[in-house]
Amino acid sequence: MSVAVAAGFKVPASILTTEVDQAVRFVDAQSGGAVYKTIMHKIISEENLVKLVHTTPVTSSMIDHRIGVTPHLFQHNVDKVFDARIVATSRGVCLGVAIHTDNPAARQDWTIGHGNLVYEPVEIPDEIVRRCRAYLALLRIEAGAFDFSVDSDGTWWFLEINPGGAWAWIAEETQLPIAEAIADVLMEGRAS
């Protein structure tokens, strides 16, 4: 997240902590609410079932001593109009889709709604394209899948980047030339 800020992205207020008091103060301070996000394994075993952990709204009354076991990420809950995934490469390609849904749970975390999502190519603001390029350069990453939430003011809130993030279904749904962009980066690296 510090690299995202250095690249010029807007990042939701965030805290990574194992301290109950810090987490409670942070969550209580978020006027629009807060969410909990995993920072590693998104799979847990509970009641003899394997479950995925999604981005979840959280209140301070939900926070207890269990967060002391491992760092937990709490963030301001962005009041978003849609989510966006951008695949960007070091060669300057930036291809993005807006992800829409009417499902309230999937609006919170679009990875829940895979059968009920609508993908449409989205025009990426120039400053977001520049910031994606800067981010890749700062970390010397050749390509990445960036996730954003876009609010009603048109602000693009950086959530994360995954250097190996999934994109094939987006290309299939939208006909965006993502595979070609990734192949160009791979072939360029091979030639040097």
Task: List pLDDT tens digits, range 28-76.
Answer: 999 989 998 877 656 666 778 776 777 889 999 999 998 888 888 999 9
Strand ranges (E), the chain = 14-17, 34-37, 43-46, 49-52, 56-58, 72-76, 80-89, 94-100, 118-121, 143-151, 156-162
Residue-wise DSSP of 127-141: HHHHHHHHHHHHHT-
Whole-number average pLDDT of the chain: 88
Q: Please compute the mean of the pLDDT values over residues 170-185 and round it to a whole number.
A: 89
pLDDT (0 to 100) of residue 20: 94
pLDDT (0 to 100) of residue 138: 96
pLDDT (0 to 100) of residue 44: 64
pLDDT (0 to 100) of residue 58: 92
Task: List pLDDT tens digits, range 104-119.
Answer: 776 777 776 666 888 9
Of 38-47, 132-141, 165-174, the range with the lowest mean pLDDT is 38-47
The SS3 of residue 86 is strand
pLDDT (0 to 100) of residue 68: 85
DSSP 8-state class, residue 40? S
pLDDT (0 to 100) of residue 110: 74
Whether 191 shows a pLDDT value over 60: the answer reads no
Task: List pLDDT tens digits, range 143-169.
Answer: 999 999 999 999 999 999 987 778 888
Q: Pick from 82, 40, 74: which is nearest to 57 by CA?
A: 74
pLDDT (0 to 100) of residue 86: 95
pLDDT (0 to 100) of residue 74: 95
Domains and CATH numbers, the chain: 2-76 (3.30.1490), 80-191 (3.30.470.20)
